[in-house]
Amino acid sequence: TESTSPDSNAFVFCVSVVEGLALLDLGVSPYSGAIFHETPLIIYLFHFLIEYAEFVFMITDVLTAVALYLAIQDFNKVVFKKQKFLIELDKYAPDVAELIQTPMEMHYIPLKVALFYLLNPYTVMSCVAKSTCAINNTVIAFFILATIKGSAFLSAVFLALATYQSLYPLTLFAPALLYLLQREFIPIKLKSKSFWLYTMQYTALYLCSLVVIICLSFFLLNSWDFIPSVYGFILSVPDLTPNIGLFWYFFAEMFEHFSLFFICVFQINVFFYTIPLAIKLKEHPVFFMFVQIAVISIFKSYPTVGDIALYMAFLPVWSHLYRFLRNIFILSCVLVVCSLLFPVLWHLWIYAGSANSNFYYAITLAFNIGQILLISDYFYAFLRREYYLTHGLHLTRQDGTEAMLVLK
Amino acid sequence: QGRDLIPVLSTGEAAPRFLCSKSNSFSIFQDQAEQFFRSGHTNNWAVLVCTSRFWFNYRHVANTLSVYRSVKRLGIPDSHIVLMLADDMACNPRNPKPATVFSHKNMELNVYGDDVEVDYRSYEVTVENFLRVLTGRIPPSTPRSKRLLSDDRSNILIYMTGHGGNGFLKFQDSEEITNVELADAFEQMWQKRRYNELLFIIDTCQGASMYERFYSPNIMALASSQVGEDSLSHQPDLAIGVHLMDRYTFYVLEFLEEIHPASQTNMNDLFQVCPKSLCVSTPGHRTDLFQRDPQNVLITDFFGSVRKVEITTETVSLDSDLAGFESNLPKDELATEPLKYAEQLPVAQIIHQKPKQKDWHPPGGFILGLWALIIMVFFKTYGIKHMKHIF
């Protein structure tokens, strides 16, 4: 029931793109119906490739894996260099030898990342369901690759493309900017002129490419229809088909009087964490990017399992945090059990008629809580490791007893 | 000729008849003719409605079924009875004696029987359906058994029971019919010539309020209780666990059990059924709209379907001369061309379908712009010098 299961949903390929192309053949704008919500570039892409749709999605998945592989390879080099630099500067406490990452253990991480992405059951499901989320993942993966390689121009172009596809990668602007600043050795001080210059350059590149892409899309169909249909659709959530996200249940029951308010509240949730995370994680922009991607895939209006596959692919990069993770067993059980229960309860609700939407939404909630706890667990572990690196492994309180780090 | 005469059924008494009348038998003949045309109806209908559901309203279903039984026994066929029962007591899971509905305790009388035909059942008993039956405004797909196909020579008995109040009767716990609506429905029936005479019996609390508003002619109404009084139930049966009948209908049933198709009992006797001592409530009736004197109205005029049959010993010879009557049937038209089915599904076209031509192509300007951008990005990233390697 891949094509009917809600896990890869409103942007599902099979129904909507075929419908859009059929409408075009009939001479009608594809956005006039309520099903098609893809961007014009997707129309252009699939206009020629629709017969080979399976191959297209397999190739995009492979491309994503390759891009992640190369990105993480470069990232490891950067991490290692930085670590060496900090050791030489004596920034680390004396007894943290066991926390330092060695090249031996970091050697296989890129391969693990690529395999995590390719062999993830979520990726496989998303590919089989031919969800355009795979294309989003590819674009974001290329953006990450471009950022880590240090090319501001390509990074801005890919970020503009990712934002153009689905609105939320806008929040990835901050970590990308932080990473590039770090790479150029520009200190992040608000008074520094070079900081503002670089930021302006990057912003200009990003906005210009976004504008160019949007204008180009205008020329595909000679109309601005796609803007309300794509971005209006993402922002105002009119389609309440059940999916693994948090939006549909609320808005199915809400009075129209309040729906605007709650849409704003829900959408702010995605963008809201950027600034605090930027302040806290300004030294570690790639981890920031990981957390941001996870936040997007949890809180976006129409999440799919493909989004989850993308950030889960990054988990091997932080495998050295394993000893600091507190709830990893429960969380993995929650995630596995919930993913198994999704199709069961969907079947019970829709086909057998003996459950109702509450069951399905309960599992959705549990799943999302599992994801959120996973992210916050990794966040805690990361910060704790950083703290230990600078302050030593055996922390003592003022009176000499052993202390415990708590995330406030 | 007067030897073996069969009694004429209309009057119930044997009466000799002479075709060639002399002056002294003329008055007898006139009396008989008068008797013959005493009531103006030629057919009888009954609309019996029970409006309550749930097991504890067993007695309302039993009421309706007792009237149904009497009416059928006295001759109205099922095709002329519209029986509306809002719930199924006989097959209710709480019925300890399934397939039965009793009216007396000690299970003396099973009014459900073997040949009950319920026309409107369960959720079909609604105010709308009831009014549609009465007025005849029924969708064309309704089967005949659900229609009241009465005409202007029909006497109709309408019996309603359930829970009611001052001016309304409750249908199925969700809606009510008011006395004004009922009166208007009867007026519609009168204007559409759907009845000759109407007898309306209601057994609910404050039932008299339901006939207060009638204004159409030829209606006689009976109710089990006055406004402000409750109509009470008769006796509970401890084996079944509910009250089996309402008092008024119980005594009406007892009364009707003694009527047979030939009885001459009239309406005044029906008005005396169930005095206050037995019924606790005061039954009421209304006859001001009725044109005949209730004294002259037979019970069987409404409760039975008595056919007026005249027996004659005369023979009538039919004229066998059919000259002048030629059939104008058209000659068989020979088929001029062989007939065949219209082509509804062009199977041949579907099977041999060619792949669809795509009618839409992206505009040239778009493709040009897109690829120009892609090439620009490529060269900005990798530098112009790589062009040497490509070409």
Tell how strand B284-286 and strand B154-161 pair up: unpaired
What are the tens digits of pLDDT across the range A175-210? 999 999 888 887 777 778 888 888 999 999 999 999
- Judged by CB atoms closer than 8 Å, whether chains meet at A27 and B360 is answered as yes
- Judged by CB atoms closer than 8 Å, whether chains meet at B366 and A216 is answered as yes
Look-up of token digits 């198994």? A340
pLDDT of B354: 62
Mean pLDDT for the stretch of residues A373-386? 90
- Rounded to the nearest angstrom, the minimum Cα separation between B385 and chain A is 18
- Rounded to the nearest angstrom, the minimum Cα separation between B368 and chain A is 10
- Judged by CB atoms closer than 8 Å, whether chains meet at A44 and B366 is answered as yes
Residue A389 predicted with pLDDT over 90: no
Cα–Cα–Cα angle for B116, B125, B105, rounded to 5 degrees: 50
pLDDT of A34: 75
In chain A, what percentage of residues exceed pLDDT 70? Answer: 93
- Judged by CB atoms closer than 8 Å, whether chains meet at B359 and A27 is answered as yes
Q: What is the CATH number of the domain that holds B218?
A: 3.40.50.1460
Of B356, B358, B366, the CB nearest to A220: B366
pLDDT of B357: 65
Domain membership flag for residue B1: no
What are the tens digits of pLDDT across the range B271-323? 988 888 888 888 989 999 988 888 888 888 898 887 666 677 878 777 766 65
- Judged by CB atoms closer than 8 Å, whether chains meet at A151 and B365 is answered as no
Residue A13 predicted with pLDDT over 70: no
Mean of the per-residue pLDDT values of chain A: 85
Q: Are the beta carbons of B72 and B59 closer than 8 angstroms?
A: no
DSSP A76-145: HHHHHHHHHHHHHTT-S-TT-GGGSPPHHHHSSHHHHHHHHHHH-HHHHHHHHTTBTHHHHHHHHHHHHH
Domain membership flag for residue B246: yes
B60 assigned to active site: no
Tokens, residue B169: 């009767």
pLDDT of B36: 58
Establish if A48 touches chain B: CB-CB under 8 angstroms: no
- Judged by CB atoms closer than 8 Å, whether chains meet at A212 and B373 is answered as yes
Of A24, A26, A216, the CB nearest to B370: A216
Residues forming beta bridges with residue B223, ordered by sequence position? B202, B284
pLDDT of A125: 87
Mean pLDDT for the stretch of residues B70-83? 91
- Higher-scoring residue by pLDDT: B127, A47: B127
* pLDDT category of residue B14 using cuts at 50, 70 and 90: very low
- Judged by CB atoms closer than 8 Å, whether chains meet at A27 and B381 is answered as no
The nearest alpha carbon in chain B to A23 belongs to B360
- Judged by CB atoms closer than 8 Å, whether chains meet at B370 and A212 is answered as no
Residue B34 predicted with pLDDT over 70: no
- Judged by CB atoms closer than 8 Å, whether chains meet at A219 and B365 is answered as yes
Residue B361 predicted with pLDDT over 90: no
Sort A358 into a burial class: Cβ within 10 Å, 0-12 / 13-18 / 19+: exposed
- Rounded to the nearest angstrom, the minimum Cα separation between B364 and chain A is 9
Q: Which of A59-63, A199-203, B20-24, B311-315 has the lowest mean pLDDT?
A: B20-24
Tokens, residue A329: 């067993």
- Higher-scoring residue by pLDDT: B187, A97: B187
DSSP state of B110: B
Q: Give residue B68's domain range.
A: 43-303
B360 contacts in chain A (CB < 8 Å): 21, 24-25, 27, 47
pLDDT of A4: 45
Residues forming beta bridges with residue B163, ordered by sequence position? B170
Q: Which of B50, B80, B205, B274 is catalytic?
A: B205
pLDDT of A400: 58
Q: Are the beta carbons of B314 and B286 closer than 8 angstroms?
A: no
B205 assigned to active site: yes
What are the tens digits of pLDDT across the range A107-117? 888 999 999 99
Tokens, residue A319: 């495998």
Q: Are the beta carbons of A1 and A345 closer than 8 angstroms?
A: no
Mean pLDDT for the stretch of residues B253-277? 87
pLDDT of A192: 80
- Rounded to the nearest angstrom, the minimum Cα separation between B362 and chain A is 6
In chain B, what percentage of residues exceed pLDDT 90? Answer: 30
Mean of the per-residue pLDDT values of chain B: 81
Secondary structure E strands in chain B: 43-50, 81-85, 120-121, 154-161, 163-165, 168-171, 175-178, 197-203, 219-223, 284-286
Establish if A222 touches chain B: CB-CB under 8 angstroms: yes
pLDDT of B201: 94
pLDDT of A54: 83
Q: Which of A236-240, A271-275, B173-177 has the lowest mean pLDDT?
A: A236-240
Tell how strand B284-286 and strand B219-223 pair up: antiparallel
Q: Residue B218, Cβ neighbours under 10 Å: how many?
A: 17
Domain membership flag for residue B314: no
Interface residue ranges in chain B relative to chain A, Cβ cutoff 8 Å: 356, 358-363, 365-367, 369-370, 373, 377, 380-381
Domain membership flag for residue B16: no
Q: Are the beta carbons of B214 and B186 closer than 8 angstroms?
A: yes
pLDDT of A195: 86
Cα separation, A181 vs A158, whole angstroms = 18
In chain B, what percentage of residues exceed pLDDT 70? Answer: 78
Residue A174 predicted with pLDDT over 50: yes
- Higher-scoring residue by pLDDT: A397, A150: A150
pLDDT of B30: 62
pTM of the model: 0.57
Residue A40 predicted with pLDDT over 60: yes
**Could you give the number of structural domains in chain B?**
1
pLDDT of B17: 45
Residue B6 predicted with pLDDT over 50: no
Q: Which of A116-130, A258-272, B361-375 has the lowest mean pLDDT?
A: B361-375
What are the two backbone dihedrals, phi and then psi, of residue B174, each rounded to the nearest 5 degrees? -130, -15
Tokens, residue B279: 């019924």
A219 contacts in chain B (CB < 8 Å): 363, 365-366, 369
pLDDT of B119: 93
What are the tens digits of pLDDT across the range A232-265? 888 888 888 888 888 888 888 888 888 889 999 9
- Higher-scoring residue by pLDDT: B335, B146: B146
pLDDT of B12: 39
Q: Which of A247-261, B86-100, B257-271, B330-344 has the lowest mean pLDDT?
A: B330-344
A158 contacts in chain B (CB < 8 Å): none
pLDDT of A367: 93
* pLDDT category of residue A403 using cuts at 50, 70 and 90: low
pLDDT of B15: 42
DSSP state of B9: T
Structural domain boundaries in chain A: 55-391
Mean pLDDT for the stretch of residues B209-217? 91
pLDDT of B41: 84
- Rounded to the nearest angstrom, the minimum Cα separation between B259 and chain A is 55
